[in-house]
Amino acid sequence: MQDSSLKDAATPMSESAPAAPVAAAAPMLAPVVIRQDFTDGLRLDLNLGVAAYPVFLMEKPAQLLARYMETLIGQQTAERQSLRLNDPKRVILLCDENTAELFGIDIETQFITAGWEVDALTVPAGEQAKTLAVVEQLCEALAALGANRNTVLCSLGGGIMSDLAGFVAGIFKRGMHLAHISTSLVGLVDAAVGGKTAVNLPTGKNQIGLYKHPLAIVSDPSYLQQLPEEDYVCGLAEAAKTALLAGGEFTAWIEDNTEPLLQRDPVVLRELIARCISFKASIVATDPHEDNVPSARLSLNYGHTLGHVIETVTAQQEVPVPHGIAVAQGMRFEARMAMQLVEAEADFVLRQDALLDALNLPALDPVTMGDDFDHIVDIFYRDKKIDNSELRFILMATPGHPEIVTVPREILCDHLRAWLPEHSDSANKEEVAVNGAEGQDAQ
Ligand SMILES: NC(=O)c1ccc[n+]([C@@H]2O[C@H](COP(=O)([O-])OP(=O)(O)OC[C@H]3O[C@@H](n4cnc5c(N)ncnc54)[C@H](O)[C@@H]3O)[C@@H](O)[C@H]2O)c1
């Protein structure tokens, strides 16, 4: 039973998809995402223009990945030469210490059962693994294992493993194959999709990277049941961001499903992941490698401008603010700015606050940010999204309508003073209130 559904799901899209209707006159554009539901999971086929690959959300994900990759070997026609996937069928897993312990043996067994050779490399969990020093160690380890361009480097973990594996696969021998077995909510709704990879520098996060798309992304969403609560709600923050950027039905859907999402209801979670991946793919496909100025991909940074500043300011504290919590606060801040700069209504601010509250993402206590106002402002101007030293924010008047807006330093400082009350004086408070940021108190 399991085997036959694996076989159906892993079939190349051209063999398994229903025949597309033939357009009478206008040429048909390839859809960005094709979705197929199975009784025990689903398959999304992403067509990003520069790359096309499937996402499988099902039990036995490594077995499914192995079978799918074999279909690619079988398709070594002229157009597919670049895949160079040959025997021996060889995969090297990149795990962190948690995912190695939780899923390593099971995933290795699935690959071996499918007839693949498998090795595993394990790095410490957390951002400390996203460094050039770890990249060098991993490249040396790959060389020692005799890996070559035909070997598949497969991340097993969350966004940190997919960022790291993607970067290493992009540079080792000038590019080896890549796949992701994604196990965190951030990984599934955001990080594994879109081809961006990165490691950190001491001066900032994600400063060095490249674009590298995987052959496939797979996961068994039941893995998320074991994710620590804080990592889970960080994933909900990225999902809320996506649902608000998408607007319309997706925003309403997530508002209606906050309770089952907090309970990690498997059916609702699968739907959330599918919706987030589909939306992100549709944005990435408009400008996969961010060649346009400005790129539509920038909108995916909603909440991230303040979010990154919060992460940097609190990085050395005993308990740094996690990425998702920082992004959620960034969304609250940017919604208030949107009232002044893009005519957002107070209703939108309150609606977004209610969604974040319901997803267990409460407003951040401003005390967390310390009292060095000038330092906080300086960090904004170190942000890598700055063009010609102008600071840009993603602002929305209503869900589904993001805009890239240049924000003058004075306006940024006004809003920061309103959020960080110890820096505010009565004149500043009054100015922000007149500009319509009355919901600010809720923070
Ligand atoms: N490339 C992109 O487009 C993109 C987008 C968003 C985020 N990111 C990056 O993603 C990273 C954050 O990703 P993350 O939140 O997944 O972090 P992560 O990879 O560190 O995973 C979070 C923690 O959960 C553990 N874990 C993972 N899956 C588990 C499971 N199923 N059960 C129990 N524990 C599990 C991990 O070991 C880790 O300790 C950041 O570095 C961020 O920069 C990249």
pLDDT tens for each residue of 175-215: 999 999 999 999 999 999 999 999 999 877 889 999 999 99
Cis peptide before 88 (omega within 30 of 0): yes
Here the tokens at position 249 are 């039905």
Spacing, Cα 328 to ligand 1 middle (Å)? 16
The one-letter amino acid at 65: L
Identify the residue whose C-alpha is closest to ligand 1 atom 9. Answer: 159
In sequence order, what are the residues at sequence separation of 6 or more whose Cβ sits closer than 8 angstroms to the Cβ of residue 329? 303, 306, 307, 310, 321, 363, 364, 443
Identify the residue whose C-alpha is closest to ligand 1 atom 18. Answer: 158
Rounded average pLDDT over 255-259: 98
Identify the residue whose C-alpha is closest to ligand 1 atom 21. Answer: 158
Cα torsion at 333, 338, 340, 346 (round to 10°)? -80
Spacing, Cα 52 to ligand 1 middle (Å)? 23
Spacing, Cα 27 to ligand 1 middle (Å)? 40
Residues facing 333 on adjacent strands = none
Q: What is the pLDDT of residue 1?
A: 41
Hey, which of 160, 280, 323 would you mutate to test ligand 1's pocket, going by the most ligand atoms within 8 Å of its Cβ?
A: 160
Spacing, Cα 68 to ligand 1 middle (Å)? 25
pLDDT tens for each residue of 46-96: 999 999 999 999 999 999 999 999 888 766 554 444 555 665 689 999 999
Here the tokens at position 367 are 């005390």
The answer to whether the CB of 319 falls within 8 A of the CB of 327 is no
Spacing, Cα 159 to ligand 1 middle (Å)? 4
Q: Between 4 and 155, name the one with better pLDDT.
A: 155
Identify the residue whose C-alpha is closest to ligand 1 atom 39. Answer: 125
Q: Enter the pTM of the model.
A: 0.90
Cα atoms found within 13 Å of the Cα of residue 300, Cβ hemisphere only: 23
Spacing, Cα 184 to ligand 1 middle (Å)? 6
| pLDDT tier, 11 (very low <50, low <70, confident <90, very high otherwise) | confident
In sequence order, what are the residues at sequence separation of 6 or more whose Cβ sits closer than 8 angstroms to the Cβ of residue 96? 122, 123, 124, 125, 126, 129, 157, 160, 161
Q: What is the pLDDT of residue 205?
A: 82
Q: What is the pLDDT of residue 425?
A: 47
Spacing, Cα 389 to ligand 1 middle (Å)? 31
Task: Count H helices and E strands in the chain, helices first.
Answer: 18, 12
Spacing, Cα 423 to ligand 1 middle (Å)? 34
Within 327-401, strands assigned E span: 391-396
Q: What is the pLDDT of residue 198?
A: 96
Ligand 1 atom showing the smallest separation from residue 166 Cα: 1
Ligand 1 atom showing the smallest separation from residue 324 Cα: 15
Hey, which of 163, 193, 284 would you mutate to test ligand 1's pocket, going by the most ligand atoms within 8 Å of its Cβ?
A: 163
Architecture of domain 2-227: 3-Layer(aba) Sandwich (3.40)
Q: What is the largest CA-CA distance in the chain?
A: 71
Cα torsion at 120, 124, 127, 130 (round to 10°)? -50
Ligand 1 atom showing the smallest separation from residue 98 Cα: 37
The yes-or-no verdict on residue 431 having pLDDT over 90 is no
Rounded average pLDDT over 119-135: 97
- Options 1.10.760.10, 3.20.20.30, 3.20.20.70, 1.20.1090.10; CATH for 302-442 is 1.20.1090.10
Rounded average pLDDT over 272-276: 98
Here the tokens at position 35 are 């979705």
Q: Which of 196, 205, 202, 145 has its CA nearest to residue 173? A: 145
CA 349 to chain centre: 24
The one-letter amino acid at 120: A
Q: What is the pLDDT of residue 292?
A: 84
Rounded average pLDDT over 374-389: 74
Ligand 1 atom showing the smallest separation from residue 194 Cα: 3
Identify the residue whose C-alpha is closest to ligand 1 atom 35. Answer: 227
Rounded average pLDDT over 308-333: 94
pLDDT tens for each residue of 151-165: 999 999 999 999 999
The residue written with tokens 């190349």 in the block is 12
Q: What is the pLDDT of residue 21?
A: 38
Q: What is the DSSP string of 62-115?
A: HHHHHHHHHHHHHT-SGGGGGG---SS-EEEEEEEHHHIIIIIHHHHHHHHHTT
Identify the residue whose C-alpha is closest to ligand 1 atom 6. Answer: 191
How is the chain split into domains, by residue range?
2-227, 302-442
- Identify the residues whose C-beta falls under 6 Å from ligand 1: 96, 98-99, 102, 125-127, 130, 157-161, 163, 183-184, 186-187, 190-191, 194, 196, 205-206, 223-224, 226-227, 231, 234, 323
Q: What is the pLDDT of residue 76?
A: 53
Hey, which of 46, 94, 98 would you mutate to test ligand 1's pocket, going by the most ligand atoms within 8 Å of its Cβ?
A: 98
